[in-house]
């Protein structure tokens, strides 16, 4: 992930650097965890769009506490060195047939977390529709690979059909909500959809 001048001046970025995380996004997951308790020690977690690896490292260090496992997938390799022992990583499109087969072989998961984002073009309507597509793909992945009672986090760009996906989540999860962490940049239009306690029989 490129570091811009804006990143360098950002207090979250400086803190991430001090604490050994490759990206400031770690504090978004921290806030989501503090408010929704999505991951517990010993969980099996799938991290979609995981590079450079801050969420993965935070889950390893703080949430599963070295007892569970993390499967991390991204178009780009993780930037973690060393890769923690709880982590299995795949490089490629999370929704391709080949990678899905590998994710399935290691599933099902107690939690699926997705910070996946498209390459932005600057055209908001193109960017939001690409983000919506990714979010829909993660919903489908969770239908197949998230355990009953499991928890789901999906990033989506606001305006990208998030109300429709939230409505689907309400049918499939006991609780569903939107959360925009304080660590999101003030000019960012990203937000997170959170599904808690996957139902056995969707309504």
Ligand X SMILES: C[S@@+](CC[C@H](N)C(=O)[O-])C[C@H]1O[C@@H](n2cnc3c(N)ncnc32)[C@H](O)[C@@H]1O
- Give the binding site for ligand X (CB under 6 A): 22-23, 25-26, 49-55, 73-76, 93-95, 115-117, 134
The span from the CA of 62 to the CA of 140, in Å, is: 28
Nearer to ligand X, 95 or 173 (CB): 95
Give the number of residues written for the chain: 203
The span from the CA of 183 to the CA of 19, in Å, is: 16
Eight-state DSSP code of residue 54: H
CB of 47 to ligand X, least distance (A): 7
The answer to whether 90 touches 104, Cβ cutoff 8 Å, is no
The verdict on whether 172 is a catalytic residue reads no
Nearer to ligand X, 36 or 197 (CB): 36
CB of 108 to ligand X, least distance (A): 19
Nearer to ligand X, 106 or 170 (CB): 106
- Catalytic one of 28, 147, 155, 172: 155
Nearer to ligand X, 77 or 108 (CB): 77
The answer to whether 150 touches 109, Cβ cutoff 8 Å, is yes
What the block records as the tokens of 11 is 């207090």
Q: Which residue sits closest to ligand X, CB atoms considered?
A: 49
CB of 202 to ligand X, least distance (A): 25
173: left (phi over 0), alpha (psi -120 to 50) or beta: beta
CB of 147 to ligand X, least distance (A): 22
- Using omega within 30 degrees of 0 as the cis cutoff, is the peptide bond preceding 128 cis? no
Catalytic residues: 155
């Amino acid at each position: 992930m490129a570091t811009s001048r804006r990143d360098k001046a950002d207090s979250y970025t400086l803190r991430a650097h001090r604490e050994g995380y490759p990206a400031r996004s770690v504090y978004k997951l921290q806030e989501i965890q503090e408010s929704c308790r999505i991951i517990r020690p010993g969980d099996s977690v799938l991290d979609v769009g995981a590079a450079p690896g801050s969420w993965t490292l935070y889950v390893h260090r703080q949430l599963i506490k070295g007892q569970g496992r993390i499967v991390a997938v991204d178009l780009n390799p993780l930037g973690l060195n060393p890769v923690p022992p709880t982590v299995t990583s795949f490089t490629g499109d999370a929704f391709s047939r080949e990678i899905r087969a590998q994710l399935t072989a290691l599933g099902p998961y107690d939690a699926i977390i997705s910070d996946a984002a498209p390459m932005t073009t600057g055209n908001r309507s193109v960017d939001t529709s690409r983000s919506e597509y990714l979010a829909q793909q993660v919903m489908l992945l969770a239908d197949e690979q998230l355990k009953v009672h499991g928890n789901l986090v999906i990033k989506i760009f606001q305006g990208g059909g998030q109300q429709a996906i939230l409505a689907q989540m309400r049918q499939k999860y006991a609780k569903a909500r939107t959360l925009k962490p304080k660590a999101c940049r003030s000019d960012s239009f990203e937000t997170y959809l959170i599904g808690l306690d996957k139902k056995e029989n969707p309504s």
